[in-house]
Amino acid sequence: MLRRALLRGALLLLAVGGLFVLWDRYGPPAPTPDMVPSVERVGHILIEKSARRLSATADGVVVFQAEIALGFEPGGDKQIEGDGKTPEGHFTINRRNPQSAFHLSLGLDYPRPEDIARAKAQGVDPGGDIFIHGQPNGLSVLTLPGDWTAGCIAVSNAEMDTLWRVVPIGTPVEIRP
């Protein structure tokens, strides 16, 4: 009897310990869209690369925040195709892709004319296809840790569902170092 109680206690400790390891590695579950204040549309998105944070505002009030993943080499401004950097500056959402390889995506108007001119002067390709997007399709529950994109801004799928609902084409996006 004592042996069974000890065995059950040990199994319970292992299970709880495993949950703490998973929590520590993957963090709390992503917020669901109903956890975000109800707004019909946001007027601005601010991405702070160093804080790994996306903030969306409506009428100057922050109505949504999310932790983000960036390009695999996030320090500095994007210069060339394949550098793994997320661009910095002022952009606009210029397209929406419901058929993305990543759970929904909102496209930024990168490269801008100044990015193209700089790259041309250097004889390089400035890159393109910068998006705010969810996780790779097939990872509906998991949120990948760390900076893993090729230069995009990634959020959880639940957070992307919320952004998809409230971010129209034409929304300004500021990306700060």
For the annotated catalytic residues, the residue numbers are 133, 152
Nearest C-alpha neighbor of 54 from the set 168, 147, 153: 153
3-state SS assignment for residue 163: helix
DSSP-assigned beta bridge partners for residue 98: none
Spell out the SS3 assignment of 68-102. CECECCCCCCCCCCCCCCCCCEEEEEEEEECCCCE
With tokens 């759970």, the residue in question is: 103
The angle at the Cα of 83, spanning 81 to 88, to the nearest 5 degrees, equals: 90
Rounded Cα distance, 131 and 102, in Å: 10
- Given strand 53-58, what is the order of strands in its sheet? 61-67, 53-58, 44-48, 172-176, 89-97, 105-108, 131-133, 153-154
Nearest C-alpha neighbor of 165 from the set 59, 40, 63, 55: 40
